[in-house]
Amino acid sequence: MSVKYNDKVFFYIHPTSSEPNKGDIMHLIICLAEGLREIGVEFYSNVNYWHESPEKEQYLFRHDPKVTSDDCSIVVLQTDGYRGEKILPQNLFHPKRKYITAYLDCEDGDKTYLEAPEFKKFDFIFRCHYNSKLKYGSNFYPWCFGLSNRIIHELEEIPNFLDKKRQLLINFRHWKKGHSVRNISCKKLVPKLEKILKINNSVEKDVPPIEDPYHYLHWLQTGKRHYPTYYERLKKSAACAGFGGFFVPPWPKNPGNLINRAVKQVLIQLNLKTNRVVQWDSWRLWESLAAGCATFHVDFEKYGIALPVMPENWRHYIGIDLDNVQEAVNRIAKDPEIIEIIATQGRLWALEHYSPAPTALRFLETIHKNKRTVDFNQEKYLTVGK
C-alpha cells in the first residue's frame, strides 16, 4: 500500500466530547484517524481526544495551537458532538477557505438537514444508515460504523470455529422492544431457528470493569459499551444477531420528510414492515463480523441497505428475507457447515474492507474522485495509489 498525499486533515471535535467520562464516543472519526495515521497522513484537531492508554497522556487526536483548519486541505466533523446544539464551528464555511469540508454522519434519524440547513453546505456528507432506495442530497455518500483498533484488538485472537458454542448470540440492550426491524426479525426467525441453534440472549449488567485500567478507560470513553465479558462471549459464539433499524415507507423518498417520518411511527405502532430500512447500522454488526460469527441481518439488497463495499449474502453474512424466513432456516438445516463458512468469510471481508487503513483510503479516494464538484482549489488535494 502506497499513498502520495502532501496535505493535512483537520478534525473539529466538540469540547465536551474530549472528556472521557462524557461517553460521547466519536467512533467514525476514530476509525478514520487511526487509518490516516497508519497510512502516514498528517492530521490535527482543535482539542485533545481519545485517550489511548491509561498509563500515559497519549491521545489519538492532538491539538497543536500552531495548526488551524486553514492550514489543512480537508476539515472533518462527526455528527455526535454537534447534533444536540446544532452549532457548527465559527466561520467554518468562510468565503476564503481553501479546504474541503466533510461531515461524518451517524445520526440515527434524518431531521438534521431540515432543522439545520447549514449542514447542506458540506462538500461531502458520509452517511451511515444509507438506504439505496431513498433520496439524499448530491453530496451524500454511503458510509458505515466499521471497525476501530479497539474492537480489532479485542477480537484479534478468536477460537477455532469447532471450539465455539453452536449458539446464536442476541445481545440487544433493549431486547424485545425498540427497533422495529429487530423486533419483527427476531419474532419471525428465532422460534424457527432455535430448533437448530441454541439461543443466548444474556446481556451485560451495567457494572464497570474497574479491575482493569485499560478496559475501564474504554468503558468510560465508549459510553459504557466496552465490556471484555461481551467480547469473550461473542468470540465463543458461532453466530450473532445484528438486526437493527426501522422500516420506512416507499414514499416520500426523502427520509427526513415529515410525512415519511410520520408514517414510520405508524409502522412502528402497528408492527408493520416495508422493503426499506433506516438506522440499520451498529457496533454490534461489525463486532460480530470481526469476531468470526455468522452474522444475521435482513437481506441488504432487498431492504436497500447500502455500504461503500457491499457484502455478499450467504457468503459474508446471512441476510434474511422477512417474507420467507423459513427458506433461510431450511438452508441452514440442510447445510450445517454453512455457518462456519459464512463466519470465516465474513470476518475476512470485514477486516479487509472496514478496518482503519482501508477506511481512510476510501475516504480520501472518494474525495479525490468527486472533488471537481467543489468550486475551488480543484487540483490540489490528493493522489492515492495502491
Q: What confidence tens digit (pLDDT) does each residue in 11-24 have?
A: 999 776 656 555 56
pLDDT-derived band at 381 (thresholds 50, 70, 90) equals very low
> pLDDT tens, 315-324?
999 999 999 9
In this prediction the pTM is 0.92
Domains and CATH numbers, the chain: 2-147+356-385 (3.40.50), 150-245+280-353 (3.40.50.2000)
pLDDT-derived band at 4 (thresholds 50, 70, 90) equals low
Q: Which residues of 15-45 are buried (b: 16+ CB within 10 A; e: fewer)?
A: eebbebeeebbbbbbbbbbbbbbbbebebbb
Whether residue 28 has pLDDT greater than 80: yes
Which percentage of the chain shows pLDDT scores above 90? 67
**Within a 10 A sphere around the Cβ of 63, how many other Cβ atoms?**
16
pLDDT-derived band at 114 (thresholds 50, 70, 90) equals low
pLDDT-derived band at 119 (thresholds 50, 70, 90) equals confident
H-helix or E-strand containing 378? none
Which position has the higher pLDDT, 223 or 376? 223
Whether residue 64 has pLDDT greater than 90: yes
Q: What does the alpha-carbon distance between residue 355 and residue 335 come to, in Å, rounded to a whole number?
A: 30
Percent of the chain that is helix, strand, coil (3-state, to 5): 35, 15, 45
> pLDDT tens, 79-107?
765 655 557 888 999 999 999 999 999 88
Q: Which residue has the cell 476509525?
A: 31
pLDDT value of position 90 = 87
Average pLDDT value for residue range 173-186: 80
> pLDDT tens, 227-282?
999 999 999 999 999 999 999 999 988 887 888 888 888 888 888 999 999 999 99
pLDDT value of position 9 = 97
Over its C-alpha atoms, the chain yields an Rg (Å, rounded) of 21
Whether residue 167 has pLDDT greater than 60: yes
- Reduce the DSSP state of residue 131 to 3 states and report it: strand
Average pLDDT value for residue range 288-298: 98
pLDDT value of position 321 = 98
Which position has the higher pLDDT, 111 or 305? 305
Whether residue 27 has pLDDT greater than 90: yes
pLDDT value of position 82 = 61
Average pLDDT value for residue range 284-296: 98
pLDDT value of position 230 = 94
Nearest C-alpha neighbor of 286 from the set 223, 318, 242: 242
Least confident stretch, 65-69, 117-121, 228-232, 348-352: 117-121
pLDDT value of position 382 = 32
Average pLDDT, the chain: 88
